Amino acid sequence: MTTTLTPAQRVGSTWMVLALACASQFMVILDASIVNVALPSVREELGFTSTGLAWVVNGYLLTFAGFMLLGGRAADLFGPRRMLIAGLFVFSASSLAGGLASTPGILVTARIAQGVGAAMMAPATLAVINTSFTEPSARAKAFGVWSASGGVGGTAGALAGGAITTGLSWRWVFLINVPIGAVLIAVALMSLAGARTGRRESLDLVGAVTGTAGLAALIYGVMRSADHGWSSWPIVGPVAAGLLLLLAFVVVEARFARRPMVPLRLFKIQGVAVGNGMLLLFGGIGIAMWYFSSLFLQNVLGFSALQAGLGQTPAAVMFMVIARWSAPLLPRFGVRPLVLAGSTFFVVGFGWFSLAHADSGYAAGVLGPTLLVAVGIGLTFPTLMAAATADVTEGDAGTVGGLANTAGQVGGSIGLAVLATVAGSSPTTAATGYDLVFVIAAGLGATIAALSILLPRRR
């Protein structure tokens, strides 16, 4: 049942609500990357195999992306406050289990549970922002800050992981989430005291099973492409099963579900349909920027992991600044001009990056192009998220937030698998493979520019 409240009752102190949403999103994105630097220490202490070690990362990403739609719908049915608090509790408890893990199996299980907690938190943060900030310019600014917090989390992962592992222990990479999670739960209880409590509807169980299993199978198959050929059964089997389950999910939602998990009527909203499609493409651009620029710094220019993290810091700062500054432009100019401008920076930046080689040096080969791409991300990401979650009722805010997050995560997973194959296909040097990756990323930017005409005209 949805409770009608005044804006002040519903959001409490809006700055605290925004801080809570941003801090939660920061934790979610941080934990996708902070573990990477700690993996050698984890392997040495717990005795992981090479294949098993990958699932310390993949287990989190798989359940995070796979359960996002379910998490979004649950936020609508049970209320974003309940889901955010429950997600924070699951995330913190599984972080404690991971930090105390004594065997590989316990750690991987904890990471899988962490991904479930993250999938509950991420859509709830968007729902909280969407329902708390109803005035267009305020909502645009909130989305800009929220987007920047995710970018900070992604970049801070490498630096924080290296510092914590070196100064304390790899276990503190997980344990540090416990006190932070406890504080955020307390803040949520206070700042979201007047948030809506959801509505009394049953969950679409068939849709939840087919949708979640379909996404998980698809992403699982794509993740395994690093170890198997694309035509091999370990890839084709899960991908085919995932696609069939997602097809069944669409049929169930359209024909049989009384209260569908993802109402297909949402895709009649122009911003939701086009915005989510463009977020799929944007996922590949994000991977090309942060993941492959780090590999270029390490494998071509010879940087250490910590140096590579520091080398990406200027671009991360640029992204944060532009994401914050672009927010007031959204209600003034609308989504199309900002997406078109951001896409132009993608094409120019990645085109420049594709010319880099071992003798280019950091300033000319990496710093310049990554700053341009960061400007494009700062303009485009919060704009697309705003477009993909606008024009929906309060009761659908969690579902739409789950859709937008899922689109970005699935796009990133597929983009990573495809671009990693491209990067490894060069018969000459590593730099040549990365150059091909950046050419494809420039093509994705051009595609987003062409599709921007389909975005809503409204500001």
pLDDT tens track for 327-347: 777 777 878 888 899 999 999
pLDDT at 427 exceeding the cut of 50: yes
Q: What is the pLDDT of residue 116?
A: 92
Mark which of 239, 260, 281 sits at the end of a domain.
260
Whether 10 and 158 map to the same domain: the answer is yes
Are 198 and 79 contacting, i.e. CB atoms less than 8 angstroms apart? yes
Going from the C-alpha of 138 to that of each of 82, 230, 329, the distances in angstroms are 24, 46, 11
Whether 156 and 216 map to the same domain: the answer is no
d(CA 389, CA 383): 10
Whether 167 and 93 map to the same domain: the answer is yes
Largest CA distance in the chain: 64
**Among 287-291, 316-320, 410-414, where is mean pLDDT lowest?**
287-291
pLDDT tens track for 375-406: 998 888 888 887 877 777 766 777 777 788 78
d(CA 25, CA 373): 22
Whether 235 and 174 map to the same domain: the answer is no
User: SS3 of 155, please?
Assistant: helix
In one-letter notation, the amino acid at residue 337 is P
Whether 138 and 272 map to the same domain: the answer is no
Domain that holds residue 222: 204-260
Query: Token digits for 186?
Result: 């307390």
d(CA 226, CA 218): 14
Whether 108 and 179 map to the same domain: the answer is yes
Whether 176 and 231 map to the same domain: the answer is no
pTM (predicted TM-score): 0.76
Are 235 and 225 contacting, i.e. CB atoms less than 8 angstroms apart? yes
Whether 313 and 208 map to the same domain: the answer is no
pLDDT tens track for 150-179: 767 766 766 677 677 777 888 888 888 899
Instruction: Look at the alpha carbons of 77, 79, 83, 84 in this order and tell me if their dihedral is positive or negative.
Output: positive
Mark which of 212, 229, 260 sits at the end of a domain.
260
Whether 284 and 422 map to the same domain: the answer is yes
- Mean pLDDT value across residues 98-111: 91
Q: How many structural domains comprise the chain? A: 3
Q: What is the pLDDT of residue 244?
A: 94
* Residue 2: CATH number of its domain: 1.20.1250.20
Q: What percent of the chain clears pLDDT 90, i.e. is strictly above it?
A: 16
Q: What is the pLDDT of residue 151?
A: 67
Whether 118 and 235 map to the same domain: the answer is no
In 100-228, where does DSSP find H-type helix?
Answer: 104-132, 136-167, 172-175, 177-191, 205-223
Whether 316 and 190 map to the same domain: the answer is no
Mark which of 202, 231, 249 sits at the end of a domain.
202
Whether 169 and 284 map to the same domain: the answer is no
